[in-house]
Amino acid sequence: MIRGVRGAITIHENTEEDIVKSTKLLLEEMISQNDLEPEYVSHIWFTATSDIDAVFPAKAVRSLEGWQFVPVMCAKEIDVKNSLPKCIRIMLQAEIDKAQKDVQHVYLRDAKQLRPDLVLTKKN
């Protein structure tokens, strides 16, 4: 079954190094928590708040061995008054043999406040 895996993380600085490093950290946690293999990933969408513009967050995928053929796309997160700043969000779609309720969504750093109802947000 194709399932969506969500994730989000905040960055410390709007620099290429911090954006790529933070995005990679989030991706690695999403991959680990859901036992994902690149061959079963349909595509990955990244969004970033308007205060992130030093590099495309999707660049982090290219640093993961075996993930170079996974299609990726970046977009700007819509500007919502009082929304969380410096935030990168991911929607990864993959073939996953888990019930939807068992998919592990990952929210790190200040992004934990986006979905405190999800189990994994309480672990990280």
| Residue of 11, 3, 15 whose CA lies nearest to 85 | 11
Full strand arrangement of the beta sheet holding 41-48: 72-76, 41-48, 87-95, 2-10, 106-107
Are residues 13 and 109 in contact, defined by beta-carbon separation less than 8 angstroms?
no
pLDDT in tens, 22-39: 999 999 999 999 999 999
**Residue 89 is among the residues annotated as catalytic for this protein:** yes
* Amino acid at position 46, single letter: F
Exactly one of 3, 89, 95, 109 is catalytic; name it: 89
| Residue of 12, 4, 5, 9 whose CA lies nearest to 112 | 9
Q: Is 3 annotated as a binding residue?
A: no
**Residue 107 is among the residues annotated as catalytic for this protein:** yes
**Residue 3 is among the residues annotated as catalytic for this protein:** no
pLDDT for the residue 39? 98
**Residue 40 is among the residues annotated as catalytic for this protein:** no
**Residue 16 is among the residues annotated as catalytic for this protein:** no
CATH number of 2-123: 3.30.1330.40
Exactly one of 29, 87, 107, 109 is catalytic; name it: 107
Mean pLDDT in residue range 91-95: 98
Exactly one of 16, 37, 62, 95 is catalytic; name it: 62
Sequence spans of domains, the chain: 2-123
User: What stretches of 7-72 show up as alpha helix (H) in DSSP?
Assistant: 16-34
How crowded is the C-beta side of 90, counted as CA atoms within 13 Å? 33
- For the chain, what percent of residues have pLDDT higher than 90? 92
Helix then strand then coil, in percent of the chain rounded to 5, is 35, 25, 40
d(CA 83, CA 101): 26
pTM, full prediction: 0.93
Q: Is 109 annotated as a binding residue?
A: no
